[in-house]
Structure 1
């Protein structure tokens, strides 16, 4: 048989919401840069948010496009995240795959209904989980080896077994599906076990022992950090969706600051912090006497309250005016160009919720972190940042929260101030964290270049898909 000359066709089916959608769009762009024909599947509403992200690639001649379904997912509060029902796309997806079967389809793990359709049609199905190897290992080992019901309380620490590093956690830091497995059938894990493999947004040198473990258990291709495909200012500005703030105002403010002098504060697109916690953050930042840029976004428990009142009403009286007058702080609301901010020479630290995308973006920018995990796998990510990589300090968050659940305990202003000073004020410990993260940032960039581990894994997946195509024609 003659060798196959046509490029591999890959479909990418992201879930709604920035934390899942953005990295899969980047992944599609990565594989297009390796010569695969990449098609992103989306509804018209969600395609609008990222069409500018691929425009430059298309103009450069890369084989990447968008297929829009005629159906539409209801536009809900994105704090619903994984509970958003996308099954209205079931029949449109089936018809598309029947008409035009690709060599593979990369599916977000939250499209729980989609794998059965893909598997019935014999198309190679790849899982995109949106997190790294370390949290995956932590979750698996707790599920398989820890009797959580034997712990005396939610705050009793236990050691996660069978890891290369000693990692202690408490039950209160674990996702609800680990604490109450009977409430959440293990369907996602079963579907992943039947898949062709997993595409992981990480890089080998970030978590080598954990990457080795993941690859032993199941086929996995570690191809990140995918955010590094955003090379131009325009790419970084429009990544995800157009910014809702004046990015020039933001950059002008940063340009007025000395190098390595500003703390960037952001809790991601899903976080909903109560008004009382907002005030504690504000008081702590002000007391630290460090310059900061704080992207507030929609962070109230009740979204309608947020739209009606604006989060500014819940900051301490006169806080923003004092920050403007002293030049110490800039408070922003809406969607901000995070990559541009993190890479700015003025940024010295990053207070983050430890979402995997933000974690990788902080690492790639060479910026040490203040960790404030809230939900998902973020407490595991905190352990990676502060205890394995040693490139961050903990603020003191102790309880895993559902996106809109009530907070039982606030992180006080004193803890906020202490963490900020520990990271931002010159010390041997702070300088060592900066040195480590700068070193890791260099490894991240080398990983995605030709000859790097992530570059090689992307190429290896394409070659494996080509071999699968040839075998199916024999």
Structure 2
């Protein structure tokens, strides 16, 4: 990415949600800004600060610092040392985790009060789930930007479902497909496939929280999204109507060549084995760091992969991504992993598990048409088997030997990967939007 000329120098204060799928893109954005002379302070908890200092070599002569704040896990009933959402013993504890995260407001405000006028941040960039950052921005007279680590497709679907009260009828089945109104494409979704807050619209607390999120977003000076214009132009244009400025600035991992991805390999034997394989021959499997697949389901997946007679690598931990060897990517449709597959120019086999992943699957399969569904229609719960080995094999064959349709899918995936890389280059859409953020 080329340098930006005649740019102002700002001090950005980042306030991310403490989970890997948010911390990674926040850190990537910090590096992108710091590479252009900007100062960045990232609010962290002590354990996350230690982890990301090591993982990302944050001190590469860049003006980035971590602000470690005590995380009140035990005060809200979480286990001691539970400082990241991806380390929660149960997804049911997510509400408590958000409660603890909101308690960071007071110590952060105290830190800001201790700064002189020259040291104060000039802009706060926060996760959407922290509406209290609008209070800080007003109190200290700084601009505020909301950062979304999901796609504009997801944002627009969520907005329209809420606006048109699609699932407000209490008697609606959890598994009845319902049309999402007013989208550029015909998209149906079931109540079971909605993210956590979407499923609980009947609860007064959830309605209140969602309203706070929306109000904080609407009052922000800008909204930035880890996506790129060419991926979802109709959804970018449609969502722009609801915010002051909407800038796609991704894929952020392309700004940061040292980033370890969500879907990557870091094992000497595995890398040696990959080096021995032919280009575009390996099936790549990764389900991120947040979700646990139970034994019976693991067995079915393994048998399906084995029956395909294709070499495959199943990634459990992070390391160095080697996409040039791969022919397709079996993914849980986490947004970071989805972007990595898109960048690699690979057709995707989609296996959503929770959160916004069912939205991402619909974007991949129905909108940009670079993926094949493995057949999951609801979130995974222990200890059920949602996908049989035969379904795994069917999806693999559909991608690898899909005839004319399969070849067109591969061409679209390759072209989209090229467009993703061009977006962050000099003159690209995301690079230009990053300039707009710096000049805000």
Could you tell me the TM-score, scaled by structure 1's length? 0.80
The answer (yes or no) to whether the contact 1:201–1:223 under 8 Å persists in 2 is: yes
Which residue of the partner structure matches residue 306 of structure 1? none
Which residue of the partner structure matches residue 241 of structure 2? 216
Candidates 239, 252, 268, aligned match of 1:226: 252
Which residue of the partner structure matches residue 161 of structure 1? 181
The answer (yes or no) to whether the contact 2:346–2:410 under 8 Å persists in 1 is: yes
How does 1:9-158 map onto structure 2 within 5 Å? 9-52=11-54, 54-55=56-57, 58-59=59-60, 61-69=61-69, 74-76=80-82, 77-78=87-88, 80=91, 82-83=94-95, 84=97, 85-98=100-113, 99=115, 100-111=119-130, 113-148=132-167, 149=169, 153-158=173-178
Deviations 1:378-419 (A, max 9, x none): 111101100111100000111135xxx546662112111111
Structure 1: gaps spanning 5 or more residues? 296-332, 465-474
Aligned partners of 1:214 and 1:385: how far apart in 2? 19
The alignment status of 1:345 with 2:370, answered yes or no, reads no
Candidates 288, 291, 298, aligned match of 2:311: 291
Aligned partners of 2:173 and 2:262: how far apart in 1? 41
The answer (yes or no) to whether the contact 1:158–1:168 under 8 Å persists in 2 is: yes
Aligned partners of 2:171 and 2:346: how far apart in 1? 37
The answer (yes or no) to whether the contact 1:14–1:25 under 8 Å persists in 2 is: no
Q: CA 1:447–1:431 in structure 2 vs 1: closer, same or farther (change >3 Å)?
A: same
Aligned partners of 1:5 and 1:410: how far apart in 2? 52
Give SS of 1:285's match. helix
The answer (yes or no) to whether the contact 2:284–2:312 under 8 Å persists in 1 is: yes
Aligned length: 409
Q: CA 1:67–1:292 in structure 2 vs 1: closer, same or farther (change >3 Å)?
A: same
Displacement after TM superposition at 1:162 (Å): 0.9
Candidates 7, 10, 17, aligned match of 2:9: 7
Candidates 268, 274, 278, aligned match of 2:288: 268
**Bigger proportion of residues as helix:** 1
Q: CA 1:42–1:22 in structure 2 vs 1: closer, same or farther (change >3 Å)?
A: same
Could you tell me the TM-score, scaled by structure 2's length? 0.86
Which residue of the partner structure matches residue 404 of structure 2? 428
Candidates 414, 421, 442, aligned match of 2:390: 414
The answer (yes or no) to whether the contact 1:21–1:240 under 8 Å persists in 2 is: no
Candidates 346, 351, 357, aligned match of 1:372: 351
Structure 2: gaps spanning 5 or more residues? 1-5, 74-79
The alignment status of 1:360 with 2:385, answered yes or no, reads no
The answer (yes or no) to whether the contact 1:104–1:123 under 8 Å persists in 2 is: yes
Give SS of 1:11's match. strand
